[in-house]
Amino acid sequence: MESTVQRFTDRILKDARKEAKSIIDKAKRSAEMLLEDRRQSGHQKAKEDTYSLLKRAESEAEIVRGRIATDTKKKASWLVLSEKEHLVTDVLDEVKRKLGDLQKSEKYGSILERMIVDAGEILGGGRLEVMLNKNDSTRPLKIDMLSEAITEKTGVKTHLRPSKQKIEAIGGAVIKTVGGRIIVDNTFEAILKRREKELRFKIARILFSN
């Protein structure tokens, strides 16, 4: 009887161990499948995250490249314009130097006289004073002849007289009515300043026409 009970007990234990093993094996397989699924899912998510990051990085890089390209073009355009401006200014400076040299030439006397007459005509004649720079004030100007020329152009009796006041200028003259109420600045510098915009345009057109 004991042997029968023992055999029965052994069979139950054996079956229990077998079932327990089967349950454990199934649990292991389920766990492995779950882990594999998680790994696959994690791998896929990682791939998706990586792709998303790369896309965002590419998009940001494209924006940066575009900004750099735009900034570079702006800087290049600015540098070109700046260099052109310097060249135009250099030409104007050269013009001023040439005008300074003109003052030393023989023909400058007649040029100065014509500038005085033009300024006197603008003022409409009358009693006028001529202001010159230090060098020109020593020139033997034909004041009476210049007065007559202005009188002829304006129809108003004109009397020119040299002013004791000296001007700072390369050349040319400042003419004013006696008392200084009205002044016409006909110096080289003033003429250049009045025509600077026009001259810059012409110089730029000559230099950069191509």
**What is the pLDDT at residue 88?**
83
pTM of this prediction? 0.59
Low-confidence ranges of the chain (pLDDT < 50): 1-5, 8
Return the residue matching tokens 């409409």.
Answer: 124
What the block records as the tokens of 107 is: 């023909």
CATH number of this structure's domain 99-201:
3.30.2320.30
**What is the pLDDT at residue 24?**
59
**What is the pLDDT at residue 1?**
43
**What is the pLDDT at residue 2?**
41
**What is the pLDDT at residue 4?**
47
CB 117 within 8 A of CB 147: no
Q: What is the torsional sign of CA 132, 137, 139, 145?
A: positive
Distance separating alpha carbons of residues 60 and 12, to the nearest angstrom: 69
**What is the pLDDT at residue 48?**
61
* Domain segments of the chain as ranges: 99-201
DSSP 8-state secondary structure symbol assigned to residue 103: T
**What is the pLDDT at residue 187?**
92
**What is the pLDDT at residue 117?**
94
